[in-house]
Amino acid sequence: MRRTKLSLLIILFTAPALAQVEDGTYLLISSNTVSPTTPTTTIGIWATWTDPRVEYIFGAGDFDLTAGGGVFSNPANVLNGPGSTTGVIAGNVISGAANGQLHIPPLGIIGSRNNPILLATYDWTTSNFTRRSVSLDTNNTTAFVVQTWDTSFGNSNTRNLFPGSFTPGSGVINVVPAPAVWVVLALPLVAATRRRRS
């Protein structure tokens, strides 16, 4: 099903790649530490790759995203070319997400050169505030396509870095508990003691 969603983007990237791209991956970045006062964080999904000899841009890719607990919500695509989808959310799992962009200079369609490039965002929420690091990872990737940055259509070569040059993405969400009750109650006492000493 996911390959069907990406088919339009990948059909447009049919020229053979001439230069080697070393590696591609997803960066999974949490916007803040989660606590009882801020139980939600926004997860940014970024695509990044290394291209020491030739400048590439991100063309298309897909992923499943899994968190070690909690619940995803509020999906939003940032890179939203043909075939893009935020996927299906089922609790702590997002299945079938796909993002892409077009780069067809003769038609005046110019892709973003950003590297890393933000693909999508998702909110993640928990009601368990035990101190821990919640793991994030991408699974079931079948495409991570990059395209050479070129202003002539005939030389816009592409390469799917999956599987040989692709590393699955990983990240963490830091969760902290509420301050202990005795610490909260002791703060006014500490402040009063400092005033007396002044």
- Whole-angstrom Cα distance, residue 80 to residue 192? 56
Per residue of the chain (198 residues), what is the pLDDT tens digit? 554 445 445 444 444 444 566 799 999 999 999 999 999 999 999 999 998 778 899 999 999 999 999 999 999 999 999 999 999 999 999 999 999 999 888 888 889 999 999 999 999 999 999 999 999 999 889 999 999 887 665 556 888 999 989 999 999 999 999 775 444 455 565 555 555 555
pTM: 0.81
The residue to which tokens 């030739």 are assigned: 54
User: What is the rounded CA–CA span in Å between residue 191 and residue 103?
Assistant: 61
Tell me yes or no: is domain 2-197 CATH 2.60.40.680: yes
- For tokens 């009882």, the residue is 36
Beta carbons within 8 Å of 65's beta carbon, 6+ residues apart: 28, 43, 45, 72, 87, 93, 94, 97, 122, 136, 137, 138, 139
Checking DSSP bridges between strand 56-67 and strand 132-139, what pairing results, if any?
antiparallel
